[in-house]
């Protein structure tokens, strides 16, 4: 693992690291904030999954999460959103290919050789972090924005027992039924829509429910509301009578101004679960 940078941040360290990935068959870069408490004992971990067009860097520099994580003594992981490199397949559109991995394991060409983002985020990167940093692998939670909110919800439901809580900012809630989802799932996973179900938070909620705390914030002025479909997830939560906080925040859009506004709430929400 190569250290790209390490900077003093709120008493802890904000680092950026690169490593060869066996899952994606290329070099991957991630950001990691370690609070001051990690110098003395293993600390809990909050995963932040970013959205379309993002890298590890967007939330790391725009979300304002480090201040609140430092206050709670929580590590923050900022993975990249896709494989990278000259030999990695791409698409001219912003919503497919590099920057748009959708946190799935692709089975279709030309994506399959590199786009194994579920395995990378669920298995490989956690092993790397626990082996190299003073974190508590038994205390983990997950959040994300937009495509990353989709990833956070599906990983939390797809890996029962892994996370203590899950939250999302403006997540893509029902990708099998929307423009942000059908195109990508068809490209990555092929035409058999049964293969898409484990990557749709609404369908997963309908089928299995969720037994950990859930918080979702979406802006009422989000310019992509028709793509996100928060009402589909809300209906599934209500049908299964799952305890959850599903909030529509008046006047907010899809930007990092929205994310940073409610980041304190989300970190505190996860801290309650991680320290309970």
Active site amino acids: 146, 222, 254
116 in Cβ contact with 23 (< 8 Å)? yes
The DSSP 8-state label assigned to residue 71 in this structure reads: H
Other Cβ atoms less than 10 A from the Cβ of 67: the count is 12
Long-range (24+ apart) CB contacts under 8 A made by 129-132 are: 129/32, 129/45, 129/77, 132/1
How would you list the strands of the sheet with 43-49, edge to edge? 2-9, 12-21, 26-34, 75-78, 43-49, 135-144, 166-169, 214-219, 245-249
Nearest to 198 by CA among 214, 168, 176: 176
């Amino acid at each position: 693992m190569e250290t790209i940078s390490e900077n003093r941040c709120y008493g802890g360290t904000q680092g950026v690291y690169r490593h060869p990935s066996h899952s994606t068959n290329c070099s991957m870069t991630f950001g990691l904030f370690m609070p001051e408490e990690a110098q003395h004992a293993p600390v809990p971990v909050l995963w932040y999954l970013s959205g379309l067009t993002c890298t590890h860097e967007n939330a790391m520099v725009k979300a304002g999460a480090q201040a609140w994580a430092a206050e709670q003594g929580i590590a923050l992981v900022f993975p990249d959103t896709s494989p990278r490199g000259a030999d990695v397949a791409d698409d001219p559109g912003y919503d497919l290919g590099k920057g748009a991995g959708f946190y799935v394991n692709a089975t279709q060409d030309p994506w399959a050789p590199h786009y194994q983002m579920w395995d990378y985020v669920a298995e490989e990167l956690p092993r790397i972090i626990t082996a190299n940093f003073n974190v508590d692998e038994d205390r983990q939670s997950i959040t994300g924005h937009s495509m990353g909110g989709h990833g956070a919800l599906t990983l939390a439901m797809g890996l029962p027992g892994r996370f203590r809580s899950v939250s999302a900012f403006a997540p893509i809630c029902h990708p099998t039924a929307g423009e942000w989802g059908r195109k990508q799932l068809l490209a990555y996973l092929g035409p058999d829509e049964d293969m898409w179900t484990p990557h749709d938070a609404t369908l997963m909620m309908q089928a299995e429910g969720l037994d950990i705390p859930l918080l979702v914030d979406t802006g009422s002025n989000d310019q992509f509301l028709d793509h996100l479909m928060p009402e589909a997830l809300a209906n599934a939560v209500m049908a299964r009578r799952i305890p959850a906080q599903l909030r529509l925040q008046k006047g907010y859009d899809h930007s990092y101004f929205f994310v940073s506004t409610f980041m304190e709430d989300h970190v505190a929400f996860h801290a309650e679960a991680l320290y309970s």
